Amino acid sequence: MKDWKKKIVPLAAASAIALAGCSGAAESSDVPEETDEQRNVTEQTAEKDDATKTDEVKNIIFLIGDGMGVSYTSAYRYLKDDPTTQFVEKTAFDEYLVGQQMTYPEDPEENITDSAASATSMASGIKTYNNSVNIDNDGGTEVKTVLEAAKEQGKATGIVSTSEVTHATPASYGAHDPSRNNQNEIADDYFDEMIHDEHKIDVILGGGIAFFEREDRNLAQEFQDAGYSYVKTAEELRKDHNEKVLGLFAPVGMDKELDRPDEQPSLAEMTKEAIERLNQIEEGFFLMVEGSQIDWAGHDNDIVGTMSEMASFEEAFKVAIDFAKEDGHTLVVATADHSTGGFSLAQGSNYIWDPAPIKAANATPDWMAAQLVDEGKPIEEVLTIQNVGFELTDEEIQSVKEALHSGDEDLRTIVDDAIEKIYDTRSNTGWTTGGHTGEDVNVYAFGPSSEKFAGHLDNTDQAKIIFELIGAKVEIHDIPVQSENNEEE
């Protein structure tokens, strides 16, 4: 841990430093040389200024860290910090922070959003009810998404996700359904809903084989018959160079980054592969990339999983930024749909959050619980230093043994919770819920017109700005929902 005491400078000393700096300003010999860190900041500022001066937005990469509230981005900064340096190092996200957005839904019963309502707002520019996938709550009107508008403009389109590609967030860019739970129907929409006689999504990468290879319909084969490649492993994806591809790498959601087998591509690799294909179209492209399982780990109150997924999302973000810097006509926006878990850095009266045990982990608690419960492996074989990242105490081992022999119906969850508790206690991590929370979330942007995303936005503004940037004339008629007592919500 850093010695935070060394950051405290006595007021008199600070004043003296400030006065000395002022009095010596005229004497060049007294002006301190610019440090490497200051020089980097200056260069990055100039680089961002240059990027916003280009008017044309040809490509848009929109990244969503599902559940990535401010506590997550702050914790990830602590996690990445080098304890040997004086100040906390910034993450790849930090220099591109431009503002925040509100996330609330327009639901007659709930005022904290789910992923479907929030993603629908970001994709179509309307507020709607929780569970809705691009269906307005005015009686069932289907609404146009930015992905569909981009396709109408002749752009290539893609969705990338570590969940099922039919899950709430990706679905909200490429489908229409009254319920996010209708994943078969959402998969059908991906194939059946056409724009200019073409399938509207050119690149689809993520999990969800079960919703495309079904007894009632084999959509994977239908996509292949329509000219798409169909790949199911990272190696197949790398070897394929077709402009249109359906890549499904798990029966449902993909594995978390920390547990990911080599057969599954990382989120960064899927992002890179998607960009390479979409960038072949002269008119440009729209790509939505979701780091889905930040949220899943947050629901599980799994601090190891959340930070693993934050690292995965950061790598995908870097891929997008690097491409945008080289291209010059690509806008990158990254944000979250909501926060999850009521995650707090530190809990109780001890003002410290220690990321060291989290950083040490080489497997998620969920993976370890599966080995113990589903595979029946002994504790001595699973709770090793190689997996856990440190040597457990007798009390910690006993807590997992007690969970394993509890006889509970949902044994895997009980064991998973016991392992998670070890990391929570050692790191002093707090949680308040297994659901979503309603605070505003950060917005990051780089590239031409990135300044349009600055300040305090509503999540519907994301779609409205993008519609404008791509020249799509989309009229948004968002009628307020009526509650049971006939008052506007």
The DSSP bridge partners found for residue 429 are 345
CA–CA gap between residue 370 and residue 391 (Å, rounded):
20
The residue written with tokens 């509230």 in the block is 69
DSSP label of 472: -
161 flagged as catalytic: no
Length of the chain: 489
Half-sphere exposure of 219 (CA within 13 A, CB side): 23
How many CB atoms are located within 10 Å of the residue 167 CB?
28
> From the candidates 23, 28, 29, 115, which is the catalytic residue?
115
The residue type at 473: K
Contact 208, 248 (CB under 8 A): yes
Quickly list H helices, 34-114: 36-53, 70-80
Tell me the pairing of strands 97-102 and 455-458: parallel
Listed residue (119, 47, 117, 56) closest to 446, CA to CA? 47
Half-sphere exposure of 169 (CA within 13 A, CB side): 31
The residue written with tokens 């340096």 in the block is 85
CA–CA gap between residue 18 and residue 272 (Å, rounded):
47
Quickly list H helices, 361-469: 365-373, 379-382, 385-388, 394-404, 411-427, 459-469
CA–CA gap between residue 452 and residue 101 (Å, rounded):
13
CA–CA gap between residue 232 and residue 279 (Å, rounded):
22
What 3-state DSSP class applies to 224?
helix
Angle between helices 459-469 and 115-124 (to 10 degrees): 30
Tell me the pairing of strands 441-446 and 330-335: antiparallel
Catalytic residue set: 115
